[in-house]
Amino acid sequence: MAQEFFNHIDGKWLVAKSGRAFENRNPANRDDLIGLFPASDVADVDAAVTAAKKAFAIWRLVPAPKRGEILYRVGELLKKYKEELARIETREMGKVLKEARGDVQEGIDCAFLNAGEGRRLFGETTPAELPNKFAMSVRAPIGVCALITPWNFPLAIPTWKLFPALICGNTVILKPAEDTPHTASRFVEILNQAGVPPGVVNLIHGRGEEVGAALVRHKDVQLVSFTGSAAVGREIASVCGQSLKRVSLELGGKNAQIVMEDADLDLAIEGALWGAFGTTGQRCTATSRLIVHRDIAKKITDALVTRAEQIKIGDGLDESVEMGPLINQAARGKVLRYSEIGKQEGARLLTGGAIHDAGACANGYFFQPTIFAQVKPTMRIAQEEIFGPVLSIIEIESFAEAIDVLNGTAYGLSSSIYTNDVTRAFRAMRDIEAGITYINGPTIGAEVHLPFGGVKDTGNGHREAGTTVYDIFTEWKSIYVDYSGKLQKAQIDNAE
């Protein structure tokens, strides 16, 4: 019998009103059925929004330091259940255990960061231009927030949205990706255990086109915080635009690592391997382009191919495995298609490019680490997000050309340059068009206390994490207190 999981609405665990359910299977082994989850629809969304709206009236008045105490307890519980959560994640998402533990750790870091923010949430106090008048600005919660998340960081991404939303006094409906509902369910159990009151966090499982879209359209949802593909992000933004709903979008990337001829090459090779093949290339910040100076291209390429061919592929629950499967059949089909496109475009396939189904991998969605050389910056494999273990090597002759190539895509999330020349490093920091730049580090590895997000098609200008995330989840309110006892007219009474 498959284990049954539920929606969480107003503090109760419920089946979908339609009674329908969908299966969640292990991408490393399709025979492993994790459980059945509610295939919710608009009726479940209505119930969740009603609960969140009711809870908002109370939650917004709970002092932020008290809300912070609950988040602190959440952080402690995430620490306690770290190993269990990591194993749940690996089983339903495929990333290797070491990385799944890292994902949970990011959630823990995010809990403590936001718990502390309960005692800050600073506004500004300023002088007023008129006598006997006081001026300040404060942050106010927005209301009911829909949090729509992808599968590649099943715990960290929900925490990046949910903790800031809660500390600011909002209530939420979390709609996790269909491929990773188990992590989300366990997360919500932990939130309850920590004392989050009923209705403050509601969880709705189901298809994006149905449940996600219904949340986006719902008149009582004041804010949509979305992380996912650019195509869906565009659709959501256009719906929100019609109703002037606040929407924050964290979308795709086509991240590049530059390696200049003066770089520490061994370090650059380690960085490229981790950036390209970590999480099987399924990170929004994954390195999918390696922009290499011609003088060192052969050395780097040869080393990368040798090392890529040694990567141990398999079930991420096996501690010795270095790279797990892709998330599902459609994702693997997409990566295979792009491998064919690369060959047709005239890039040289150096290794990989094929499904990996040898031995114990026969039952999962595995793919070989893939490296293309002689890639031109305009080729589709150098322009479009593949979201798999595919690295395109592009040769350049100068620093200026490297920056041009790096900037020459529609996206602008993460970026990296390996160089020992301080002038080049500072020029890169200034001239790269991206939300994140690493010097002598790979394109992956963001920390929760700095802003996270990108430019161009990677989003719509918001930044999660850090303190910038509070600009997503609050409204600014400016307050003037006039204690002069008379009508004072700004810009008029104090004019020369």
Interface residues toward ligand NAD, by CB under 6 A: 148-152, 175, 177-178, 208-209, 212-213, 216, 227-229, 232, 235-236, 250-253, 284, 385, 387, 413, 458
Sign of CA dihedral 177, 179, 181, 182: negative
Among the listed residues 166, 173, 220, 225, the one whose alpha carbon sits nearest the alpha carbon of residue 196: 166
- Greatest C-alpha distance within the chain: 85
- Complex with ligand NAD: residue 65 or 466, whichever CB lies closer: 466
Q: Residue 374 in contact with residue 383, Cβ under 8 Å?
A: no
- Complex with ligand NAD: residue 141 or 253, whichever CB lies closer: 253
Q: Closest approach of Cβ 11 to ligand NAD, in Å? A: 23
Q: Residue 109 in contact with residue 136, Cβ under 8 Å?
A: no
Quickly list H helices, 120-260. 156-167, 181-194, 213-217, 230-243
Residue that the structure tokens 């305009």 belong to? 378
Kindly name the residue from 284, 322, 361, 395 that is annotated as catalytic.
284
Kindly provide the b/e burial profile for residues 53-64, where b requires at least 16 CB atoms within 10 angstroms of the residue's own CB: bebbeebbebeb
- Catalytic site includes residue 361: no
CA angle 321, 325, 329 (to 5 degrees): 165
- Complex with ligand NAD: residue 22 or 72, whichever CB lies closer: 22
- Catalytic site includes residue 284: yes
Q: Closest approach of Cβ 392 to ligand NAD, in Å? A: 16
Residue that the structure tokens 């003088």 belong to? 295
Q: Closest approach of Cβ 452 to ligand NAD, in Å? A: 6
Q: Closest approach of Cβ 413 to ligand NAD, in Å? A: 6
Q: Closest approach of Cβ 235 to ligand NAD, in Å? A: 5
- Complex with ligand NAD: residue 195 or 461, whichever CB lies closer: 461
- Complex with ligand NAD: residue 143 or 158, whichever CB lies closer: 158
Q: Closest approach of Cβ 247 to ligand NAD, in Å? A: 11
Neighbours of 130 (CB within 10 A): 17
Kindly name the residue from 92, 250, 385, 395 that is annotated as catalytic.
250
Beta pairing class for 12-14 and 7-9: antiparallel
- Complex with ligand NAD: residue 170 or 458, whichever CB lies closer: 458
Distances (CA, A) of 64 to 114, 121, 151, 170, 300: 10, 8, 30, 11, 51
Partners of 449 in the beta sheet?
Answer: none
Sequence-distant (6+) residues with CB within 8 A of 493 are 130
The whole-angstrom separation of Cα 469 and Cα 472 is 5
CA angle 198, 201, 203 (to 5 degrees): 110
The whole-angstrom separation of Cα 253 and Cα 443 is 11
- Complex with ligand NAD: residue 301 or 416, whichever CB lies closer: 416
- Complex with ligand NAD: residue 212 or 342, whichever CB lies closer: 212
Q: Closest approach of Cβ 53 to ligand NAD, in Å? A: 20
Q: Closest approach of Cβ 309 to ligand NAD, in Å? A: 26
Q: Residue 241 in contact with residue 451, Cβ under 8 Å?
A: no
Which residues does the annotation mark as catalytic? 250, 284
